[in-house]
């Protein structure tokens, strides 16, 4: 999946990356944002997430706090740093399937654009990711 770093003209051109090792999280997110006409990519580890972000222009990454092999805090550390190795810095939507205090503590010091605990309200997830995409497009 190769994307240019030029501005995207429509919401249908937006690329959303779902980063979770849990198939039910992937499926729930894909089901809702699929209705929003985004291009959707997925990965199952923090290492794959970072590799995808290095080689593709992603608008929003839906990042599962419990993602293995580097963790959400590892992804956020690199995204919030001054690294020039990424195509662009995506908006970050943090997803937690349950409240886990030690995971919240690890990611709490990093900037995220929005977050949701649980995946029971799919309508909100789609609307909130759409808002992040529109905000991102208006600043390009």
97-137 pLDDT, tens digit each: 776 777 777 788 888 999 888 877 666 888 899 999 999 88
Band of the pLDDT at 46, cuts 50, 70, 90?
very high
Q: Cα(119)–Cα(31) distance, rounded to whole angstroms?
A: 11
Q: Cα(128)–Cα(86) distance, rounded to whole angstroms?
A: 24
In order of their start, the domains of the chain are 11-138 (3.40.50.2300)
Q: Cα(46)–Cα(28) distance, rounded to whole angstroms?
A: 19
Q: What is the DSSP letter of 92?
A: E
Higher model confidence: residue 8 or residue 32?
32
Kindly tell me if the per-residue pLDDT of 30 is higher than 80.
yes
Q: Cα(78)–Cα(81) distance, rounded to whole angstroms?
A: 5
Band of the pLDDT at 87, cuts 50, 70, 90?
confident
Strand runs labelled E in the chain:
15-19, 39-43, 60-64, 91-96, 114-117
Q: Cα(73)–Cα(50) distance, rounded to whole angstroms?
A: 12
Q: Closest Cα to residue 43, out of 69, 74, 7? A: 69
Q: What is the DSSP letter of 35?
A: T
Other CB atoms within a 10 A radius of the CB of residue 49 amount to 28
pLDDT at res. 86: 77
């Amino acid at each position: 999946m190769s994307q240019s770093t030029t501005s995207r003209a429509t919401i249908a051109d937006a690329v959303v990356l779902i980063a979770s090792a849990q198939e039910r999280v992937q499926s729930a997110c894909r089901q809702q944002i699929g209705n929003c006409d985004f291009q959707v990519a997925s990965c199952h580890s923090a290492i794959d997430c970072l590799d995808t972000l290095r080689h593709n222009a992603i608008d929003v990454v839906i990042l599962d706090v419990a993602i293995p092999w580097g963790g959400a805090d590892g992804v956020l550390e690199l995204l919030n740093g001054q690294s020039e190795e990424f195509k662009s810095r995506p908006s970050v939507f943090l997803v937690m399937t349950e409240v886990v205090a030690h995971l919240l503590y690890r990611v709490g010091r990093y900037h995220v654009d929005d977050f949701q605990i649980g995946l029971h309200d799919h309508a909100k997830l789609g609307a909130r990711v759409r808002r992040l995409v529109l905000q991102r497009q208006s600043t390009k």
